[in-house]
Structure 1
């Protein structure tokens, strides 16, 4: 390998990393054998003549041995590494690498080839130092296997040679008894490598051959149009891997070893990827269309399920949720996104805060192509990882959270919400279109090049007069989070000359001591939720944004917001991004817009002199988050729970509310339709005999006549098989 000293001082000692299971035979520097020593995974080379600044030389390292998997995923807690790899009821075990006579699988995490410097350790902010390298791989195989890497192999005598055209940050090697299928669309070769006997999918895609080119072209153009970036390589390969190949998603990353430059490693037979079960998807689609009295051809069915598979697995997938490894059913089909091939593998940020800045840019870009699940996630998780991270950020800075080992599972989510806030703030100052164009231009200019974080800071300062270094430092070091109240929501139809327009007014307050912002999105009526029609069966639709606006709300202030739209919106979502609010995003639905001929159309942000109170004069409010709220019945423990020693106190404070599986004890959940100050929550329980009671205790300031009200949220969802009768009567006893 050719190495260069990028520093301003000479180097007399060189450090390389190599898997500790591999034994170094000798090291040559400029063709001469030099002394070296091994320290676990490190190779320490001592030079008689130091390498001068910007000096280059050739280093050869000869080694042999086996891969030691213990070097992999050092940032993963020991307890998590001991957990079983489960796919439904099957326990296939965990393997991070394979070197067998008939199969090879080596990814960069195994450190199977020498890299300059040190590998990732257990410290969260000390990541692997990515360097763009022009790799050349030579391979001799003793069995008739198909080799796969970042470029096609060429036969040179008894040796196979792979030389990628582009400089890469990492290299992978796979070899096995694969069958290869290739389709070329717009000069890119799309390859599928599978086991010869694993062709379960063929009957379900038999009629899409003549439409596959157009489908791939359309999907790629749509993805790149939203992302603002283009695919840089000439190959993209999907590769089937053994069922027990396992990876962890490391903190501050959104992808694992399943995604490599030009490669996506899929599980055997697509196990764990929901939409890869084409038979089940076609069955559901057929049943749905029959219930809707619709007719759909076999070809239309196949096009629908295949397009759904491509979109949800590789492109427009939802943010990664839950445990950050391939063991999590809820997130397993989100780990195969091609996004890293548009950013992570072609743009490398260097500097003191390289990992954080790189993650912030990555998350900003991913937000353009991720599908929001909105309130639908409440059925699955109750509270999102971003909301959990915000609860910690209420009292901690991002720096404190990232340095706390107990918060490691929420590190990525914390950076996610803070990054969203940071880039939204920049968009509000610079303008969304100008900022997007700036990012796209800088990323294109630094393709396959290291990018100094200081350069990024200076560029923003010089072009837009934005002190980004100062913003970034406070973003990282300052503790606390803003908190918002949304009140006095009004909507009506107004007239502006001959035009009919739709007026929406509301007040957004930030009584906290921290500046914040909210993102306003209007959706057309009927958008969001489950999209109708066979093509999008059981597909949660991305909301079609009619209008978006970023509103900055300084600490201890309130604004009257007046907005106008030409088309009639069906709902308004308010995303507080980074805040104390639960849920982070609230949805306000508009039943109708009544004409108001006396009102003049107005669009403005007006600062109010006083922050409105949540409670009106003469009211006494006791919320279920108040200390005056009490649960009067103890949670019962079943004999089976006692036998299995289930600790019910380990449950999350906020639970998912599934109408088909309501618990027999009081639980808390959050939803934007509920009442509250900054936390919109409610308690719920399965209907019973009336013995499970709760109590609101109100301290009345004076004697008199009081009218008692209860806030009952609308419940738009149904129970199993369309049953809307899962909500029973509520009974109140007022003691006075």
Structure 2
């Protein structure tokens, strides 16, 4: 190898590259373009997780740089092979006696040196920008780390692959086509399969730095990156043998090929080791699931008390656990079955000083010690070892367990489910760090998982430089920390690190916040005046107590910052995640996984500008209230998980409600006690839901555009019972929706037979009397029977066996003034028909007496299969808003909402009544022909010339019913169906919407007229235009009526006031116009004229035209009315 010649080639190649216009464009794009883009991301459209961590800014910069350099390298690295076929300034070098290897290495060095130089210049400018903005945390090491492990491997790999393909195919176009195709396939598909083995850009591999414990997964990450470095170098050696010039020695060529094979083989070995690491974890998970299945039918004991002494050295833990167990079964058991982390080794087990024989099979620990019925025994178990994280979350599907996406962030965070390291420890009950009597999850039947309560005490021997966090009242000494719990708990958590702490006593509850650094954003979100913070947290506590119908049951409330390396999973049918434990809630460091963040000081500063008369304490209370809504409610507003296709179709622009993994619902439900039943799993969930106040959500759903139900859920429940759902070994994503829908019917049916206030008071009393206990369901049934004389057990049996989903036809929702009522003012009435084969319940709501967003529940009425009834309900006061909710039903939307703003009619009726009526009142007039968009006589067509293949690709996964965000964006393709409270139809009130493109697409309603005569034509128009495009002053709808040779064109203009102007012209010389006064958001039938029509088919079409391109048009229903 001739070093001098290599450098000569490198210098000449660098000179040529610096003159290359494509490389010059690349320099400007990466240095100026990326810095400008970073500035936009941080200031113009700030997304918090793009700068929350000290590594975020350099990572995003390198991520984008890699995308740019990959495409530019295809041209630049391949260009010199093509150039060598022509005469240019390197001809003098090409004729010299050097080896092909020296020549290619020189070229390679030139390309790599220039690209790395450009990247370093970019980093320097970015670093100055980063340091200059003092609000963003800065650390130098991630800049260097991403240069060496993220940018350099991509540069080496793409350069080597490009050179090799160009010398093999010798056709620049073919080589570029293959390379571009490979890069696109990798970005859109390969990066997400096989744990990221084929992801040369490392887009899907966890690759951020925790400011507390360092990189989130450095060993496997470096293994994968080293493999691509070796692949890139090996491609260079392979290219030597195919270069079109004499090589100087055939032995040199063979050595290059051999060396390339060796390097490629080592790279494959590194890639295989990377793959094997994750494959082995998945295999162990399957093994652990099989063991749970094997022991699922064994008789189980209960643990009444545990006294744990914990020691730790590095990653090694040593625990002495004294457990008291008892046998709740009606017979003697031969073996005591416990569950402990598979990697922990049991050193010895004793009972009353005598050794106990034991066997351990992975996570199953069997003590060979018989216990009689009702007997108690105390065992002392000493065990030690490391923690195997793969035993966690066995009920989570492998695809979700291995998924590294988080919200719409391109950053991939850690996947650790537990952590035992020198500097930090995090152990939750999920990892089985102490013995338990039943699996905390049931991977065989996930919704039938058990909850077991025990009295815990914990002693942690540790260095005084660390702070230990756990449940219970702490006491600390030089030897360590001791925690004693006054109440039984379903599990124990241990967290240890270098923490700072702030605390406040709020009433009788101690509020604590543990954080790593004083200056970070974790504390800043609550860093306000004592009065404002106290009032804010008190208000939040009271709000949750009202929502869940129970007082906060613990003596302290602790918020803890944890490294971003740790993760948790949302579980079907369960609130929150392992990040929420009794008394404790954990959040990633610096709130880094959130898209939005506003510190307390910034919020109060803005409030001072907007509301100068408002006190700082009031602003702080508002901030804490909004913060709790965002972080700890059952639902959180997040951007959907984003890939590149989602980005191109703008799906990431709108926040959507998702299940909140930090929901504190379990603080008020499962952590306080539970009902258990082997025959009726999840019965505690259905009963506790009756304490929940979800009326605000019902009101919000009633005015939304878009489906509040999953059609797959309705389809599934049409032929499956709840028993089928709960007995399934694997759950799909809609099981949570199934439980929610079924719980609506469960609660409302009971409220049809028992007064709601009385039953809720009974539930609060029952759970208060049985705090922190597992109560047999039979005891609950007996108490309900004694107090209310209601056969609760028979209802539950039918509830679990029932399959099918009812649907209702609802008419004539009205409110009238009562002329003879003494204690009530108005009478609300409606007609409802249940033509389905299932029983159902409808619930009447009105606005609250205090005019808050909360609804007032008036009455639940059972509507049995096949019945048609008229319902009248007296109201104490006139209500402006009345809402009828169909609960568990096929009706979509599930609410009927009506505003009573006009003067009410009077009625002499004055009492509550439910009477049977004839279904004929639900049939249309014989002289009226109505065609809805759900009918067979309705169809839509698209303008194919306007619908490009790219548009279809981006919208190929469009859901059955569009949401409000789809219409706000206007990015959907063709006609998009959706549902809305004011739309026509039963049981689905839907419509179709389209963005006007002045094409040939249209929506057409057809009808068969039974006879000749005069017909009036009406079209139902929804008041949605001003809702979605509120800045526009004029909207137009263009209709075309056709029958045989007759044709009429109709234009309906919608003015800013809501008024409709109708213009009609036909081919017989008719020219008319009319005006209809309407409210701006009102939906109603619009008269389009009277026509003399003949018997046979007639059609009316809504054309793809409007007042302006981009206007939204909506198609719902039309009707023809025969005039005699």
Structure 1 counterpart of 2:879, from 544, 569, 583? 569
Q: Note if contact 1:674-1:682 (Cα within 8 Å) is conserved in structure 2.
A: yes
Structure 1 counterpart of 2:455, from 119, 125, 134? 134
Q: Note if contact 2:461-2:479 (Cα within 8 Å) is conserved in structure 1.
A: yes
Output aligned runs, 1:562-711, within 5 Å: 562-596=872-906, 599-610=908-919, 612-633=921-942, 638=948, 640=950, 648=956, 650-658=957-965, 659-662=967-970, 663-711=972-1020
Q: Aligned equivalents of 1:726 and 1:392: distance in 2?
A: 44
Deviations for 1:679-723, whole angstroms, at most 9, x for unmatched residues? Answer: 011111112204222222323334444333222122286336x42
Q: Note if contact 1:15-1:43 (Cα within 8 Å) is conserved in structure 2.
A: yes
Assess, with a 3 A threshold, how the Cα gap between structure 1 residues 297 and 618 changes in structure 2: closer, same or farther. same
Match of 1:46 in 2: 368
Deviations for 1:507-557, whole angstroms, at most 9, x for unmatched residues? Answer: 122121211111111126996xxxxxxxxxxxxxx7333552111112112
Structure 2 counterpart of 1:366, from 687, 692, 695? 692
SS of equivalent residue, structure 2 residue 348: strand
Match of 1:535 in 2: none
Deviations for 1:468-525, whole angstroms, at most 9, x for unmatched residues? Answer: 2221111111211211122123334444479993443321221212111111111269
Assess, with a 3 A threshold, how the Cα gap between structure 1 residues 361 and 244 changes in structure 2: closer, same or farther. farther
Question: Relative to structure 2, which stretch is displaced further, 199-208 or 24-33?
Answer: 199-208
Once the two structures are TM-superposed, the CA of residue 462 in structure 1 deviates from its matched residue by 3.1
SS of equivalent residue, structure 1 residue 475: helix
Match of 1:434 in 2: 758
Assess, with a 3 A threshold, how the Cα gap between structure 1 residues 354 and 165 changes in structure 2: closer, same or farther. farther
1:309 maps to 2:627: yes
RMSD: 3.4
How many aligned residue pairs are there?
707
1:491 maps to 2:815: yes
Q: Note if contact 1:483-1:511 (Cα within 8 Å) is conserved in structure 2.
A: yes
SS of equivalent residue, structure 2 residue 1009: coil
Match of 1:352 in 2: 678
Match of 1:3 in 2: 325
Q: Aligned equivalents of 2:460 and 2:764: distance in 1?
A: 38
Assess, with a 3 A threshold, how the Cα gap between structure 1 residues 322 and 559 changes in structure 2: closer, same or farther. farther
Assess, with a 3 A threshold, how the Cα gap between structure 1 residues 83 and 314 changes in structure 2: closer, same or farther. closer
Assess, with a 3 A threshold, how the Cα gap between structure 1 residues 114 and 716 changes in structure 2: closer, same or farther. farther
Assess, with a 3 A threshold, how the Cα gap between structure 1 residues 396 and 612 changes in structure 2: closer, same or farther. farther
Q: Please, which runs of 5 or more residues in structure 2 have no aligned partner?
A: 1-322, 642-651, 1044-1097, 1099-1124
Once the two structures are TM-superposed, the CA of residue 634 in structure 1 deviates from its matched residue by 6.9
SS of equivalent residue, structure 2 residue 784: helix
Output aligned runs, 1:215-294, within 5 Å: 215-225=536-546, 227-272=548-593, 277-278=598-599, 282=603
Q: Aligned equivalents of 2:439 and 2:464: distance in 1?
A: 34
Output aligned runs, 1:416-435, within 5 Å: 416-435=740-759
Assess, with a 3 A threshold, how the Cα gap between structure 1 residues 726 and 345 changes in structure 2: closer, same or farther. farther
Once the two structures are TM-superposed, the CA of residue 376 in structure 1 deviates from its matched residue by 7.5
The alignment's TM-score, normalised by the length of structure 1, stands at: 0.87
Match of 2:860 in 1: 550
Q: Note if contact 2:842-2:863 (Cα within 8 Å) is conserved in structure 1.
A: yes
1:57 maps to 2:377: yes
Match of 1:536 in 2: none
Q: Aligned equivalents of 2:696 and 2:814: distance in 1?
A: 31
SS of equivalent residue, structure 1 residue 699: strand
SS of equivalent residue, structure 1 residue 392: helix
Q: Aligned equivalents of 2:640 and 2:452: distance in 1?
A: 29
Q: Aligned equivalents of 1:732 and 1:391: distance in 2?
A: 37
Once the two structures are TM-superposed, the CA of residue 400 in structure 1 deviates from its matched residue by 2.5
Structure 2 counterpart of 1:91, from 408, 412, 417? 412
Assess, with a 3 A threshold, how the Cα gap between structure 1 residues 500 and 231 changes in structure 2: closer, same or farther. closer
SS of equivalent residue, structure 2 residue 384: strand
Q: Aligned equivalents of 1:567 and 1:281: distance in 2?
A: 44
Q: Note if contact 2:880-2:899 (Cα within 8 Å) is conserved in structure 1.
A: yes
The alignment's TM-score, normalised by the length of structure 2, stands at: 0.58
Deviations for 1:573-613, whole angstroms, at most 9, x for unmatched residues? Answer: 111110111112232222313354x7554543322143532
Assess, with a 3 A threshold, how the Cα gap between structure 1 residues 354 and 273 changes in structure 2: closer, same or farther. farther
Q: Aligned equivalents of 1:724 and 1:453: distance in 2?
A: 59
Q: Which protein, 1 or 2, shows the higher relative CO under an 8 Å CA cutoff with sep ≥ 6?
A: 1
Q: Aligned equivalents of 1:406 and 1:53: distance in 2?
A: 34
SS of equivalent residue, structure 1 residue 521: strand
Structure 1 counterpart of 2:400, from 68, 73, 80? 80
Structure with greater proportional helix content: 2
Q: Aligned equivalents of 2:511 and 2:425: distance in 1?
A: 22
Q: Note if contact 2:446-2:731 (Cα within 8 Å) is conserved in structure 1.
A: no
Q: Aligned equivalents of 1:183 and 1:600: distance in 2?
A: 58
Q: Note if contact 2:447-2:682 (Cα within 8 Å) is conserved in structure 1.
A: no
Once the two structures are TM-superposed, the CA of residue 236 in structure 1 deviates from its matched residue by 0.9
Q: Aligned equivalents of 1:490 and 1:496: distance in 2?
A: 18
Once the two structures are TM-superposed, the CA of residue 458 in structure 1 deviates from its matched residue by 2.5
Q: Aligned equivalents of 2:731 and 2:929: distance in 1?
A: 38
Q: Note if contact 2:696-2:855 (Cα within 8 Å) is conserved in structure 1.
A: no
Q: Note if contact 2:714-2:890 (Cα within 8 Å) is conserved in structure 1.
A: yes
Q: Please, which runs of 5 or more residues in structure 1 have no aligned partner?
A: 528-541
Assess, with a 3 A threshold, how the Cα gap between structure 1 residues 12 and 505 changes in structure 2: closer, same or farther. closer
SS of equivalent residue, structure 1 residue 676: coil
Q: Aligned equivalents of 2:526 and 2:917: distance in 1?
A: 60
Once the two structures are TM-superposed, the CA of residue 145 in structure 1 deviates from its matched residue by 1.4
Q: Note if contact 1:270-1:277 (Cα within 8 Å) is conserved in structure 2.
A: no
Assess, with a 3 A threshold, how the Cα gap between structure 1 residues 614 and 181 changes in structure 2: closer, same or farther. farther
Match of 1:532 in 2: none
